[in-house]
Amino acid sequence: MSDFQLTRTLDENTAEKALRTDVRGGLTGSPKKLPPKWFYDARGSELFEDITRLPEYYPTRAEREILLERAREIATESGARTLVELGSGSSEKTRHLIEAMPALETYIPVDVSESALRGAADTLLAEHPGLKVHALVADFTRPLRLPDSPGPRLVVFLGGTIGNLLPPERAAFLASVRAMLSPGDALLMGTDLVKDEAVLVAAYDDAQGVTAEFNKNVLAVIDRELGADFHNAEFTHVAVWNKEHEWIEMRLRARSEAVVKIRALDMVVPFRAGEEILTEISAKFRQEGVRKELASAGLELTQWWTDAAGRFALSLSVAEGPVD
């Protein structure tokens, strides 16, 4: 692949160190918590793909609907010659954009998985032989230095993943995205919207129990990687709507009193009956709130598109003057 380059900003021990830090800090805190990124080993990724096909889980279908309908408009509005995708995975959704962007010269996918990056590059270069792909093995929640590439740039952050960050984390993330951009570059971001509580809770607590298995997978990851003795059957999946903060909370609730040993950390973690681990928040948004958060980072909201049912939105925002 002569038009493929790959740059690593994560060494092979980074993930293990981060897992150790997150588990030690999260399970000794009160309340207990774990970051949602640890759902996604190979099994977790398969389960999430299953979730996206469930009748209750609308976000993936709604976002795809907008991309299919608006791809050419997005291409025209951004004028992008470089496309940067944060958390690119298989780059499946981005193909709709790439096909609609005749001026595109360079694609920069960013993901923690080198195998996913290489697999996506193989497919894209076969479909678009003139495209240059410069993949980054990196954690997009940390400040990134992008390789040189022609402007204007369009950074895409899809899937509503912004909702997994707490408000201070969102502010820091959006500021780091702005720091990557030159004036006139743009950000395309997916946000799930506030809607009826029953619809939201069902999307995170499906009738088939796939989301429950996905949630519990974080315990299997800790068991395997850190020699813990969690037993999935001893924890119940819980999804609740936090009306005050307008976000879904996914939790794991201990069915009974338990003591979990984590050998790699020389830790013993006690659980009371009914005690919970917060494993994910998924914030839901309103247009004006998104506008304000973008503006605080130096990004001006210029376009707002929703699916026909008004469940999900893609926003296009443009980098304003120089970064302070």
Q: What is the mean pLDDT of the chain?
A: 93
For 24-52, the pLDDT digits (tens) are 999 999 999 999 989 988 898 899 999 99
Task: Please give the single-letter amino acid code of residue 309.
Answer: A
Whether the CB-CB separation of 241 and 201 falls below 8 Å is answered with: yes
pLDDT at 1: 46
Which SS3 state, helix, strand or coil, does residue 58 take? coil
pLDDT at 322: 64
For 275-320, the pLDDT digits (tens) are 999 999 999 999 999 999 999 999 999 999 999 999 999 999 999 8
pLDDT at 323: 54
> 62 to each of 112, 230, 283, 312, 317, how far by Cα in Å?
26, 36, 16, 6, 20
Long-range contacts of 147-150 (CB under 8 A, 24+ apart): 147/5, 147/7, 147/108, 149/81, 149/82, 149/105, 149/106, 149/108, 150/81, 150/82, 150/105, 150/106
- Distance between first and last Cα of the chain: 39
- The CA-based angle 10-11-15, given to 5 degrees, is 75
**Rounded to whole angstroms, how far apart are CA atoms 221 and 19?**
10
- Give residue limits of the domains in the chain: 57-193+285-319, 205-284
CATH T-level assignment (fold) for domain 57-193+285-319: Rossmann fold (3.40.50)
Q: Look up residue 199 and give its two tokens.
A: 């619809």
Whether the CB-CB separation of 265 and 226 falls below 8 Å is answered with: yes
pLDDT at 279: 98
Which of these, 181, 196, 154, 178, lies nearest to 303 by C-alpha position? Answer: 154
Place of tokens 């977790």: 44
From the number of C-beta atoms within 10 Å of its C-beta (0-12, 13-18, 19+), residue 126 rates as exposed
What's the mean pLDDT in 60-81? Answer: 96
pLDDT at 42: 83
Provide CB contacts within 8 A for 130, sequence distance 6+: 3
Per-residue pLDDT for 90 more than 80?
no
